[in-house]
Structure 1
Amino acid sequence: MKTVKTLAVLLLAATFTLTAQKTDINTSKSTVKWTGNKVGGSHNGDIKVKSGAFVFKSGNIASGEVVIDMNTITCADLTNEGANQKLVGHLKSDDFFGVEKFPTSTFKVTKATQFTNGKARVTGVLTIKGKSETIAFDVTKKANVYSAQVKVDRSKFNVRYGSKSFFDNLGDNFIDDIFILDIQLVV
């Protein structure tokens, strides 16, 4: 009888451990910082997380989705209000992210390795301007904060303005195709 009870407790514990747990992202504490480089300089700013959640199994990311509100894009490095508004307006225009037509961008986790020493490799589908591409990047976990630096090739999402991938007459007036997202998601 004691063996049956022990077996039942172990089976219940194993079931509890293997059960997936959905956890919402705390959007007010999470941050997405962007950096775009060009010849002779760069610009940077923030974009807000609109919503999202991860599904965890045994403490590891099993799946998840993050939705970014593209209407919240800001510029942090330009202190002149007119220049700042001009850049933000241009980033929101069809030249870049076309936020009127595409107000959100999404990332859906399709697979992730187990965390080892607080690090895991996450693969998923990033959608910007209605175009989807599979990307992979490393994630660092510290308590309930998941951090990553993601390099995105904007040319794959039809973000064409000032891109050498689309225009060959730009000389030194091009903007790098790769932009960087420094992400901290709090769950």
Structure 2
Amino acid sequence: MHNKFLTLSLASALLMGGVQVANAAPESYNFDPTHTNILWKAEHFGFSKPSGRFGLTSGELILDEDAPENSSVEVVIDTTDLVTGIEKFDAHLKSSDFLDVENFPTATFKSTAVEVTGETTAKVTGDLTLHGVTKPVTLDMTLNKIGINPISEKKTAGFSGSIVLKRSDFGISMYVPNVSDEVEISIEAEAAYTAPAITKIPAVE
């Protein structure tokens, strides 16, 4: 990603040009829940792939345009906001058979490493906590654009991502293997610039 990615930069969770900054300091961005979607689909007895989405509670991106491998992301996902468009199906997925949102109302992702893989792509590894279980996972992320949002007039980063998770890894095993263990996740996200990232200054003794 260096070269083009240094000017477009890495924006992602879970986790990406117009504005260029030479020797830019890392910057802090907040995710826009209105324009951030976490979409999923899973095979159902081989007949179809039902799908749905999750809402985003909060999320922060620290973006280093000069060294995107030093970027980081942390998000909180609202599992109670799962929506398929079918009320009965939503209720079942939120029940103790699956997500058990009464006991686990959120999922979190916190990045631990960013590997630049191309001009606008990266692998973002981090810890995903879902259903009370924490596992390391790696997302494939693509930077779409960094520029000024014409409505908010804020510097904004947009990106897409994907990952395939095994729900049984997180203790959600109901109906496996008839209902697919693998769940395909896709991410479309926008994050708006808030401020230069805060860096800790060593204490002077």
Pair in the same fold by TM > 0.5 = yes
Instruction: Tell me, yes or no, if structure 1 residue 28 matches structure 2 residue 40.
Output: no
Alignment-mate amino acid for residue 130 of structure 1: G
Alignment-mate amino acid for residue 108 of structure 2: T
Partner of 2:4: none
CA distance in 1, matches of 2:117, 2:24: 16
The answer as to whether partners of 1:34 and 1:45 remain within 8 angstroms in 2 is yes
Give the alignment's TM-score, normalised by structure 2: 0.71
Q: Shift of residue 132 of structure 1?
A: 0.6
The answer as to whether partners of 1:121 and 1:137 remain within 8 angstroms in 2 is yes
Partner of 1:117: 119
User: Could you list the runs of 5+ residues in structure 2 that have no partner in the other structure?
Assistant: 1-21, 146-156, 192-205
Q: Say which structure is richer in helix.
A: 1
Instruction: Summarize deviations over 1:112-167 as a string: whole Å, max 9, x none.
Output: 02363211111011110110110112100011212111111100000021014xxx
Q: Choose between structure 1 and 2 for higher RCO, CA contacts under 8 A separated by at least 6 residues.
A: 2
The answer as to whether partners of 1:17 and 1:57 remain within 8 angstroms in 2 is no
CA distance in 1, matches of 2:117, 2:37: 22
The answer as to whether partners of 1:35 and 1:181 remain within 8 angstroms in 2 is yes
Instruction: Summarize deviations over 1:89-123 as a string: whole Å, max 9, x none.
Output: 11000110010111011111111023632111110
Instruction: Summarize deviations over 1:25-65 as a string: whole Å, max 9, x none.
Output: 11111111111112122211111111101111235262111
Partner of 2:71: 62
User: Could you list the runs of 5+ residues in structure 1 that have no partner in the other structure?
Assistant: 1-15, 77-83, 165-173
The answer as to whether partners of 1:53 and 1:65 remain within 8 angstroms in 2 is yes
Partner of 2:103: 101
Q: Which of the numbers 128, 141, 150 marks the counterpart of 2:143?
A: 141
Alignment-mate amino acid for residue 109 of structure 1: S
Partner of 1:6: none
CA distance in 2, matches of 1:184, 1:33: 8
Count of matched residue pairs: 156
CA distance in 2, matches of 1:137, 1:152: 10
Matched position secondary structure for 2:118: coil
- CA RMSD, aligned part only? 1.6
Q: Which of the numbers 28, 38, 47 marks the counterpart of 2:44?
A: 38
Q: Taking structure 1 as reference, are residues 114 and 42 closer, same or farther at Cα in structure 2, changes over 3 Å only?
A: closer
Larger Cα Rg: Structure 1 or Structure 2?
1
Give the alignment's TM-score, normalised by structure 1: 0.78
Q: Which of the numbers 140, 164, 167 marks the counterpart of 1:151?
A: 164
Instruction: Summarize deviations over 1:75-99 as a string: whole Å, max 9, x none.
Output: 14xxxxxxx2221111000110010
CA distance in 2, matches of 1:161, 1:115: 36
Matched position secondary structure for 1:37: coil
CA distance in 1, matches of 2:40, 2:97: 17
